[in-house]
Chain A
Amino acid sequence: MSATHDFQYRVGARVGGFRPGAHAGLTLGAGDDFVAHASLFARPDPRRIDLRASLRDPLGEWLVRLARQRSHIPVCALIDLSASMGFGTPSRKLDLAADFVAALGRAATAAGDPLSLSAFDDAERPELRLAPSRQPALVAQYAEQLRTAECRSAGHGGLIDALAPLAGRQAQVFLVSDFHRHDAELDTALDLLGRARVTPIVIWSPSETEPPAGDGLLRLRDLENGRLRELWLRPELRRRWRAAVAERRRALDLRFQARGIRAFYMSDPFVGDALTRHFLEGA
């Protein structure tokens, strides 16, 4: 099962920071990413003397190669626990999110990045908060907690609180949600995450994007505000349903595109390879 969930992420831009890691960094240090030559006097590291360049140097100085090191980046996932995430059969959207979190734990361990996790609904959920850590077991445990978590409250006000530790910092942020009714919060959150690299993970259950088979009266109650929608399903309405989903997806895409973000759409089941491909394409 986990084989299909496993993925690898890539950070598109060079990351700062001196701690070594898996991602191309900005800091000069031990690495094979050549930047320039410097005089041995300026960089007294005889191990890096470049003989060829030194011989060619008109001033006859001893030159040392300078390279950028590979650095780590803090990784964070913010998980939406609002009522709508409890939707979906047989697996809830939150279960899909748990699949993703477990796979993310393995990916972060593989990349050597510290991973922090937090969940929010109307407020931040403190019991579902994992401080930055490199311990895969903690993440696996967290994923299990998510599977049993209740999605009870409507609203996404906790998003801002949950990402407060990340605000203005460089990080790889996964925003795991179905993005229903994120309006003001989402814009504020993306503003705060200006320096971070955000990957929205949009989880839509097939049962919400695809109308059920069979014609007849379908009564639907909004999980968050309790409003009722009654539909007489028929081919024409099915077409409009799919069109509405496509329209919604387009609007969401536009919104992210304005900030140079590409969202990843996840359905049931979660396919790790697709996410890996998403990172390869989007880098």
Chain B
Amino acid sequence: MIAGVDFLRPEWLALMPLATLPLWARGTEASGYPDVGWLPEDRLGRLVGLALRVLSALAIAAVVLALAAPGRPQSLALRTGRGAEVLLLIDRSRSMDERMLPSDWRELSAYDIRHQTQSRGPVKSQAARTLLGEFVARRPDDRFAVSFFSASALHVVPFTQHDEVVQAGITAGGVHRGLSETDVGRALISSVARFENRAYTGSRIILLVSDGGARLDEDTRLAIRAGFERQRVALYWIYLKGFGRPDLEQAGEAGEAIPEVALHRFFETLPTPYRAYQAESPEDLAAAVEDVGRQQNHPLDFEERIPRQDYSRGIIAAALLLVAILLAAGRWQLRGLR
């Protein structure tokens, strides 16, 4: 990596001989004297003078070098990570702005629950984002992508291992309020499509965080099933169950009429692994996220593109420092005789 230095504007290097000017043009700053052979030899003065000339030569060289804009060329690095490629698909609908049940809801009376969910519990989307943020932070080896969806999917962050980008993407979900529509089908189709044309380097997961379901028509179901099968993506659904919302495991024919249950049953028919977690309170949500984290831990090979790194900034800083030293040294330079 050290050998690989390239220049954006190598033609400027032609000015490099200018750097020898301070070594040649010795008399420009000196004041005349009739006969220097007269004067005593001074080794200290000679050293200081030589040092100053070398410093000025270096300063000129640094400026020329910076003009030529050296840098490490763009390169691809093969990295091995453990874990999975996780796509966080987060519901951005308005219902996500509601609150979850408070932690102690089991002790509350039925009457209190109805009122206290409106005021005490944490906001669903907020809690989900906080926990997902921690989840991402705990798994540095995984590659994450972030998408939000309501009427359609918003792909915020492409697959990357850079945590700060992912965290920023997750945080971005908290900007302003949710939208009214929730189209899980479209979001899933476009999310699965994001795995397209990527080398299969480790297990793939879509982590769907949502509080509602949708009945999907036959075409959408087919498309989703085909997509999951082709891309071999596992689906984890963290269902944020609000107060009074249906239970996914509700049995019987009646369940088919409820969107969430219908969606759950459809997911169970998918050819790839599927797990659903019902989270009513923040603790449930945390447990669900924990569980997903445990599930996936396989080695993962991928190539990362390392962008060109420009060194000219540092070199300019060095030149500035040299010039500053020279200016400061000028303070001790005597201007001529008398």
Residues of A within 8 A of B (CB): 84-85, 87, 89, 93, 178, 180-181, 205-208, 212, 214-224, 226-233, 237, 240-241, 243-245, 248
Those 4 A-B pairs whose CB atoms lie nearest each other, nearest first: A230-B49, A84-B34, A219-B30, A221-B30
Q: Are A208 and B34 in contact, with the CB atoms below 8 A?
A: yes
Contact with A along B270-303 (1 / 0, CB 8 A): 0000000000000000000000000000000000
Residues of B within 8 A of A212 (CB): 334, 336-338
Report if A245-B38 is in contact (Cβ < 8 Å); known contacts: A216-B334, A217-B332, A226-B27: yes
Within B25-49, the residues touching A (CB, 8 Å) are 26-27, 29-40, 42, 44-46, 48-49
Known: A220-B32, A221-B33. A230 touches B45 (CB 8 A): yes
- Are B45 and A218 in touch, CB under 8 angstroms? yes
Contacts of A207 in B (CB 8 A): 337-338
How far apart are the CA atoms of A26 and B239 in the complex, in Å? 137
Number of A-B contacts (CB under 8 A): 116
B47-62: contact bitstring with A at CB < 8 Å (1 yes, 0 no)?
A: 0111010000000000
Residues on B with beta carbons closer than 8 Å to the beta carbon of A218: 45, 333-334, 337
Q: What A residues does B26 contact at CB under 8 A?
A: 221, 228
Contacts of A87 in B (CB 8 A): 32-34
Q: In the assembled complex, which residues on chain A have CB atoms less than 8 Å from the CB atom of B36?
A: 220-222, 227-229
Q: Is the CB of B35 within 8 A of A224?
A: yes
Q: How far is the CA of A208 from the CA of B31 in the complex (A)?
A: 12
Residue of B nearest to A178 (CB): B34
In the assembly, what is the distance between CA of A241 and CA of B38, in Å? Answer: 8
Kindly state the separation between the CA atoms of A93 and B35 in the bound complex, as whole angstroms: 14
Give the distance to chain A from B98, nearest Cβ to Cβ, in Å: 76
Docked complex Cα distance between A181 and B37 (Å): 9
Please name the residue on chain A nearest to B332 by beta carbon.
A216
Q: Which residue of B lies closest to A84 (CB)?
A: B34
Residue of B nearest to A212 (CB): B337
* A219 in contact with B49 given A212-B334, A228-B26 (CB within 8 Å): yes
CA of A207 to CA of B337, assembled, Å: 6
CB-CB nearest in chain A for B40: A240
Residues 319-331 of chain B: 1 if any A CB is under 8 Å from the residue's CB, otherwise 0?
A: 0000000000100
Residues of B within 8 A of A230 (CB): 42, 45-46, 48-50
The reply to whether B39 and A229 form a contact with Cβ atoms under 8 Å apart is yes
Smallest Cβ distance from B325 to chain A, in angstroms? Answer: 13
Is there contact, CB below 8 Å, between B31 and A232? Answer: no
Q: Does the CB pair B33–A222 fall under 8 Å?
A: yes
Docked complex Cα distance between A87 and B35 (Å): 10
Q: Contacts A212-B338, A217-B48, A218-B45 given; indicate if A237 touches B40 (C-beta within 8 A).
A: yes
Interchain nearest-CB distance for B295 vs A (Å): 72
Q: In the complex, what distance in Å separates the CA atom of A229 from the CA atom of B50?
A: 11
**With A221-B27, A221-B31, A223-B32 in contact, do A248 and B337 touch (Cβ < 8 Å)?**
no
Instruction: Assess the B334–A222 pair: CB atoms within 8 A.
Output: no
Say yes or no: A241 contacts B35, CB within 8 Å.
no
Choose from A84, A226, A240 the contact partner of B35 (Cβ within 8 Å).
A84
Do the beta carbons of B42 and A244 come within 8 Å of each other? no
Cα of A84 to Cα of B337 in the assembled complex, Å: 14
Q: Is the CB of B32 within 8 A of A219?
A: no
Listed by A's residue number, 18 A-B pairs whose Cβ atoms lie within 8 Å are A87-B32, A180-B38, A207-B337, A212-B334, A212-B337, A212-B338, A215-B332, A220-B30, A220-B31, A221-B26, A222-B35, A223-B33, A224-B35, A230-B42, A230-B45, A231-B39, A231-B45, A244-B39
B46-95 CB contacts (< 8 Å) to partner A? 46, 48-50, 52
Flag if B338 contacts A237 (CB, 8 Å). no
A180-B38, A207-B338, A231-B39 known; A219-B31 Cβ under 8 A: yes
